Amino acid sequence: MVQGLTQELGGFLAKVASQGAPDNVRQAAKEGMIDCIGCMVAGSRDEAVTLAMQVFQPEAAGSSRLWFSDQRAGVADAAMLNGIAAHVLDYDDSCLRGHPSAVLIPAILAIADEVKASGAAMVDAYVGGYEVWAELVDRESGFHQMKGWHPTGIFGAIAAAASAAVLYGLDAGKAAHALGLAASQSAGLMSNFGAMSKSFHVGRAAQAGVVAARLARVGFTASPDAIEHPRGFLMAVSPEGKVDTTRAADGLGTLWQLPKRRVNLKKYPTCYYTHRALDAVLSMLQEQAVVADAVERIEVTLSREHALALRNAQPQTALAAKFSMQFAMACAVVSGKVGLLELTDEFVLRPDIQALMRRVRVVIDERYDPETPGAAYEDRVTLVGKDGTTRSNAVHRASGHAQNPLAEAAIKAKFLDCLAYGGYVGDATDLYARLARLEEQPTL
């Protein structure tokens, strides 16, 4: 009898749990894992996390640590809180149409503390979650965001359950049940971008995956075809029903996605859809500085899909500013950089920033990148001066993209900056070194 997709995925996860992932796949996994942990520690200071902790309260006797501090919580609540912290700054990696590491890492860390997992088991769990996410997202030809779905929320819950299934060592049947249970918890709306709720999507997905795997572990069941059924997950979230629910997943465990589709690391703590334009404008400003008062207007060309996600033309908060091309351009011109220190409510409300944002114009480019669904082939920024001068620059692959990677020194510097920003009290350099050799660590 031919297995359906849900069962195929369950079998794959059981194999990863028992046999582990190849060395080259493990090496590719660590890049996203390290970056996400840095972002999580940095985000732990955010107001959204503080508020969430009033609901998902830390427990002194909890099994799982919060952002590598002395605070602890139960395993499911730790996944939630660490997930919110990992994503709230929007500094975490981007790939597979979403933010895989910010969902997977919080779930993995929470369970790893509970079961005292080895570093190698943690890496394998990340691999399992990532490969399942890739398998599912690749079956859809449409663009989930245009339907209103936040892909990180809808795919993240299932992928987190996949990672959890590997760490708990679930057999194929129970792993499939975990995926089905997680599928019924998938959620996340694009309308909630620019608010605390976006990071809640990530925390909830991580928590949902943990809960699903824990339920499956004790025998709780889901439908055997929850993902591929005509009224199942894939068809339910498909924007136009153009999704392949029947193709066999025969590449799982042989044609590994991680080494060839590595995560895109973020150079700026803003929506990834602003990054190519930021690279373009900052490169021009490095060649020749411009004062804001001398700018007549700034034109940015990008795809309609990306423009719709960047919904805030005149943001009034730092969270809203992360989803504003107008803010990104104004910040770059005024400060010459876009970093954590610029993403504050006070900075966003500065009169010079607010004034320059009004002079940023977004232009739709319908020439699409065949390798990146929903993206224009390049994003272009044109600076028009009040003196009539015009300068223009376009970028195809942002700094930090898998095809335009950051240097090792820059990756480490971002990690250390994030830990300093988050008030990490341990030895940040030592933590980075241990994470770089995570597969060799008996525990973390």
How much is the pLDDT for 60? 86
User: Which domains are delineated in the chain?
Assistant: 5-237 (1.10.4100.10), 272-395 (3.30.1330.120)
At 433, give phi and psi (nearest 5°): -65, -40
Rounded mean pLDDT, 264-280 = 97
Percent of the chain with pLDDT over 90: 95
Mean pLDDT across the chain: 96
Q: How far is it, in rounded angstroms, from Cα 325 to Cα 203?
A: 26
How much is the pLDDT for 373? 86
Residue 146 pLDDT grade (very low, low, confident, very high; cuts 50, 70, 90)? confident
Contact between residue 68 and residue 37 where contact means Cβ atoms under 8 Å apart: yes
pLDDT digits (tens, 9 = 90+) for 210-246: 999 999 999 999 999 999 999 999 999 999 999 999 9
pLDDT digits (tens, 9 = 90+) for 13-37: 999 999 999 999 999 999 999 999 9
Q: How far is it, in rounded angstroms, from Cα 231 to Cα 142?
A: 18
| N-to-C CA span, the chain | 42
Contacts of 255 (CB under 8 A, 6+ apart): none
Task: Give the bridge partners for 383, in sequence order.
Answer: 298, 391
Contact between residue 213 and residue 168 where contact means Cβ atoms under 8 Å apart: yes
Q: How far is it, in rounded angstroms, from Cα 444 to Cα 427?
A: 14
User: Is residue 422 over pLDDT 90?
Assistant: yes
How much is the pLDDT for 2? 64
Contact between residue 372 and residue 380 where contact means Cβ atoms under 8 Å apart: no
Q: Given 3-state DSSP classes, what are the helix, strand and coil percentages for the chain, each rounded to the nearest 5?
A: 50, 10, 40
User: Is residue 172 over pLDDT 60?
Assistant: yes
Tokens representing 299 are 């034109």
How much is the pLDDT for 87? 97
pLDDT digits (tens, 9 = 90+) for 375-419: 999 999 999 999 999 999 999 999 999 999 999 999 999 999 999
Contacts of 178 (CB under 8 A, 6+ apart): 10, 161, 162, 164, 165, 170, 209, 212, 213, 215, 216, 217, 222
pLDDT digits (tens, 9 = 90+) for 121-132: 999 999 999 999
Provide the 3-class DSSP secondary structure of residue 365: coil
Longest dimension (CA), the chain: 73
Contacts of 260 (CB under 8 A, 6+ apart): none
Residue 295 pLDDT grade (very low, low, confident, very high; cuts 50, 70, 90)? very high
Q: Please, where are the H alpha helices in 47-96?
A: 47-52, 75-87
Rounded mean pLDDT, 252-281 = 96
Tokens representing 351 are 């009169």
Q: How far is it, in rounded angstroms, from Cα 272 to Cα 328?
A: 11
Contact between residue 421 and residue 344 where contact means Cβ atoms under 8 Å apart: no
At 363, give phi and psi (nearest 5°): -120, 135
Q: How far is it, in rounded angstroms, from Cα 366 to Cα 98?
A: 22
User: Is residue 102 over pLDDT 70?
Assistant: yes
pLDDT digits (tens, 9 = 90+) for 56-94: 988 888 999 998 888 999 999 999 999 999 999 999 999
Rounded mean pLDDT, 35-44 = 97
Q: How far is it, in rounded angstroms, from Cα 60 to Cα 49?
A: 18
Task: Give the bridge partners for 382, in sequence order.
Answer: 299, 392
User: Is residue 1 over pLDDT 60?
Assistant: no
